[in-house]
Amino acid sequence: MAKLEVEILTLFPRMCEGYLAESILGKAQASGLVAARVTDVRDFAPGKHRVTDDAPYGGGAGMVMKPEPLVDAVEAARARLPGAAVVLTSPRGVRFDQALARRFAEQGRLILVCGRYEGVDERVMTAVDMEVSIGDFVLTGGELAALCVADAAARLVPGVLGNDASAGAESFAGGDGLLEHPHYTRPPEWRGRKVPEVLLSGDHRRIERWRRRESLRATRERRPDLYARIALSEEDLRLIDAGDDEL
């Protein structure tokens, strides 16, 4: 059985299907490591017009997603995936991060409910376990957010990335909370810009120290909030201001 089973509940299935079918997530499904399903919430809306939204009580602009189709869709998904975490994507949710991605990957079953329009009837919240936001901005709907969550969890499933080491080597994921060091590939010189000499040296210990130094510097400069939370070793303190000849 797949290591991660994900079901996305949405009014716009095609928005999600295209992304899930391509590249790494597409391969992960083909190899059986990830099972993804996209469910059209409209299939749970009754009547000829299959209405899923309505005007807000109290007045105001925009439409609100009705509770019945969404909650019926959640209940059907829960029956397919017992024990799944049920997450509503919403700008009001807790901020999504790598730790939460890891938790979902480990739990192994995830139901993502996409909000739309101005919002979702508050009574839907009793049917979900948590609300998750991917950042302090407002999207037109929760689909992109759901795909972000599904993608970040799926790449942590062992075997999904070709090389098992790569999930851990990247920003945040190694548990060290640092941003990634820069990467280079061929050619060694391009438009007058040279690849740092250390990376061509073949000296793997020195290359590791260079990478660590660059991660530390990038984090200090770009994300002082993350940098403040890192437990720096004596060697880190030496490295961060070391020149290339001191690595």
Q: Report if residue 182 touches ligand ADE, rule: CB under 6 A.
A: no
User: How many residues sit close enough to ligand ADE to count as binding (CB under 6 A)?
Assistant: 12
Element (H, E) at 130: strand 130-133
Joined tokens for residue 190: 């391009």
How many Å apart are CA 202 and CA 51, to the nearest integer?
Answer: 63
Q: Report if residue 91 touches ligand ADE, rule: CB under 6 A.
A: yes
Collapse the DSSP code of 169 into the 3-class scheme (helix H, G, I; strand E, B; otherwise coil) and give the result: helix
Q: Report if residue 133 touches ligand ADE, rule: CB under 6 A.
A: yes
Q: What string marks each residue from 204 to 243 as x (binds ligand ADE by CB under 6 A) or -?
A: ----------------------------------------
Q: Which is nearer to ligand ADE, 77 or 216 (CB)?
A: 77
Shortest distance (Å) from residue 195 CB to ligand ADE? 37
Q: Report if residue 13 touches ligand ADE, rule: CB under 6 A.
A: no
Shortest distance (Å) from residue 1 CB to ligand ADE? 29
Q: Are 218 and 181 in contact (CB under 8 A)?
A: yes
Binding segment toward ligand ADE, per CB under 6 A, in 138-146, 169-177, 200-208, 217-225: 138-146
Q: Report if residue 145 touches ligand ADE, rule: CB under 6 A.
A: yes
The one-character DSSP state at 178 is: P
Q: Report if residue 10 touches ligand ADE, rule: CB under 6 A.
A: no
Near ligand ADE by CB under 6 A: residue from 137, 162, 186, 205: 137
- Measured on CA atoms in the order 76, 27, 135, 15, is the torsion positive or negative? negative
The one-character DSSP state at 33 is: S
Tell me which residue has tokens 């049917």: 127
With CA atoms as reference, report the closest residue to 150 among 9, 40, 1: 9
Edge-to-edge strand order for the sheet containing 34-40?
A: 34-40, 4-10, 109-114, 85-95, 130-133
Near ligand ADE by CB under 6 A: residue from 4, 134, 153, 179: 134
Q: Are 112 and 9 in contact (CB under 8 A)?
A: yes
Binding segment toward ligand ADE, per CB under 6 A, in 120-128, 130-138, 156-164, 214-222: 130-138
**CB-count burial class (<10 Å; 0-12, 13-18, 19+) for 89:** buried
Q: Which is nearer to ligand ADE, 57 or 137 (CB)?
A: 137
Shortest distance (Å) from residue 38 CB to ligand ADE? 17
Q: Which is nearer to ligand ADE, 145 or 161 (CB)?
A: 145
Q: Which is nearer to ligand ADE, 118 or 176 (CB)?
A: 118
Element (H, E) at 90: strand 85-95
Binding site for ligand ADE (CB under 6 A): 89-91, 115, 133-135, 137-139, 142, 145
